[in-house]
């Protein structure tokens, strides 16, 4: 039925077959007999079929070319409509189903519409005789009655524990699977239950003001920040190279640097270049030694928030990134990428100068420094320069020992 509704609403110019439309409310039917029953039941019309179309039994008026014109008026007789819904007075001959004016949801028939409208009106006509609790539909009442009857029809297959509701059984199964589907958008910590996540978020928002994004669930301390964040989900600008969609022209400009290779932000200490300004700010902390992100469980501190998130997983034991081949878990996505190269012999990264291939992009980037001749890593003790950071680390340990021994010898 939902597929039929979708076809008639989304593709009205090409109806799948002939439809018989009600002369009063413009509702359409696949068969003439169904239309006749509809007019009799809902509009109290005295009608009959004649030569493949519908006509009034009192005044013999034919409805072959009339539809959606409101109640039919006979001489000395007025027809009544049992259920007057605005959707039935619009000239939409190809609409099958009834649309709710409040939220736009389309339901199959008027009975379903009445049940649906209870969500908006808040009416709960079904009451429990035991405790007086009220419910919007009878199926919810039947589930509620299991509490009083102590019936537990839902049983866990692993531990044979029984529950009165299916939702309680699904919540219980997390104990066996160890699944933690609710993760904190601020620190990445995962929880098995939504209530535990909401309680944890209070540590990030001590004032109690917490506003969630309706699209991704990320939390913010003010409504203005949520409004600014929502631009991420409204992607109206598209890249002409790869088709990627972004929220604003500024983000699109930053994205285009992936194709052009432009790196406008450079470090004045080591001359390293970056595509984004925030990446440069994070990189500068490697020279200044500033570590503003501190762990609550130990004394470790980090220059970047992402490093703190990875570090916290060592305390919690969480390893969200799992290898699909050997099921080995890792704390960060980069470690998984490095590990995945073990299972594959592919070397997709190729040097344009010497045609040497590599498994990872970082290996190719480090290799290119051999051809460029650049030595961005500077020793603070003897001004020696190196092409790779690991070579500088080895040199620093030797240089520091040499300087210390020379200082002791001079004394």
Contact between 220 and 213 under an 8 Å Cβ cutoff? The reply is yes
| Structure confidence at residue 147 (pLDDT) | 72
The mean pLDDT of 198-211, rounded to a whole number, is 67
Place of tokens 């219980």: 172
85-105 pLDDT per residue, tens: 444 443 333 344 677 877 777
Q: Give the CA diameter of the chain.
A: 125
| Structure confidence at residue 158 (pLDDT) | 77
Residue 378 pLDDT greater than 80, yes or no: yes
CA–CA dist 221, 207 (Å, integer): 9
The full set of domains in the chain, from first to last, is: 2-119 (no CATH), 263-343 (3.30.160.60), 349-397 (3.30.160.60)
CA 224 from centroid of its chain's CA atoms: 21
The mean pLDDT of 305-310, rounded to a whole number, is 83
Residue 133 pLDDT greater than 50, yes or no: yes
| Structure confidence at residue 408 (pLDDT) | 62
CA–CA dist 293, 281 (Å, integer): 14
22-62 pLDDT per residue, tens: 877 767 777 888 888 888 887 778 888 887 778 888 788 88
CA–CA dist 399, 377 (Å, integer): 14
Contact between 379 and 396 under an 8 Å Cβ cutoff? The reply is yes
| Structure confidence at residue 261 (pLDDT) | 84
pLDDT band at 187 (very low <50, low <70, confident <90, very high): confident
User: Which among 64, 62, 59, 27 has a CA at the least distance from the CA of 43?
Assistant: 27
Mean pLDDT of the chain: 76
List CB contacts of 316: < 8 A, sequence separation 6 or more: 189, 190
146-177 pLDDT per residue, tens: 777 777 778 888 777 888 777 778 777 777 77
| Structure confidence at residue 173 (pLDDT) | 77
pTM of the model: 0.32
CA–CA dist 83, 88 (Å, integer): 9
């Amino acid at each position: 039925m939902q597929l039929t509704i979708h076809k008639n609403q989304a593709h009205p110019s090409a109806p799948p077959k002939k439809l018989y439309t009600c002369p009063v409310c413009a509702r359409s039917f696949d068969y003439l007999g169904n239309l006749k029953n509809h007019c009799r039941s809902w509009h109290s019309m005295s009608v009959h079929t004649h030569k493949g179309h519908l006509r009034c039994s009192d005044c013999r008026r034919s409805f072959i070319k009339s539809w959606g014109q409101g109640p039919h008026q006979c001489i000395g007789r007025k027809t009544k409509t049992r259920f007057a819904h605005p959707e039935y007075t619009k000239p939409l001959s190809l609409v099958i189903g009834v649309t709710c004016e409040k939220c736009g949801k389309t339901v199959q028939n008027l009975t379903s519409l009445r049940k649906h409208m209870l969500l908006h009106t808040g009416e709960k006509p079904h009451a429990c005789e035991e405790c007086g609790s009220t419910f919007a539909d009878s199926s919810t009442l039947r589930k509620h009655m299991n509490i009083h009857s102590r019936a537990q029809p839902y049983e866990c297959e692993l531990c044979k524990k029984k529950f009165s509701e299916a939702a309680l059984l699904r919540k219980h199964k997390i104990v066996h699977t160890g699944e933690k589907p609710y993760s904190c958008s601020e620190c990445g910590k995962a929880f098995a239950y939504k209530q535990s996540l909401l309680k944890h978020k209070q540590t990030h928002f001590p004032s109690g003001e917490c506003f969630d994004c309706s699209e991704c669930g990320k939390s913010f301390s003010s409504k203005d920040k949520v409004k600014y964040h929502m631009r991420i989900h409204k992607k109206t600008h598209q890249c002409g190279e790869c088709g990627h969609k972004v929220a604003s022209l500024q983000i699109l400009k930053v994205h285009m640097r992936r194709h052009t290779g432009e790196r406008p932000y450079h470090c004045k200490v080591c001359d390293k270049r970056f595509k984004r300004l925030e990446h440069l700010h994070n990189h500068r902390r490697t020279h200044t030694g500033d570590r503003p992100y501190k762990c609550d469980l130990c004394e470790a501190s980090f220059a970047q928030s992402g490093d703190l998130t990875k570090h916290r997983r060592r305390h919690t034991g969480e390893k969200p990134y799992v290898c699909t081949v050997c099921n080995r878990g890792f704390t960060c996505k980069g470690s998984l990428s490095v590990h995945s190269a073990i299972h594959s012999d592919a070397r997709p990264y190729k040097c344009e100068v010497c045609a040497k291939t590599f498994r990872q992009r970082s290996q190719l980037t480090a290799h290119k420094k051999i051809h460029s001749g650049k030595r961005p890593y500077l020793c603070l003790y003897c001004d020696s320069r190196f092409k790779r950071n690991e070579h500088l680390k080895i040199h620093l340990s030797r240089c520091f020992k040499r300087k210390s021994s020379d200082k002791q010898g001079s004394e």
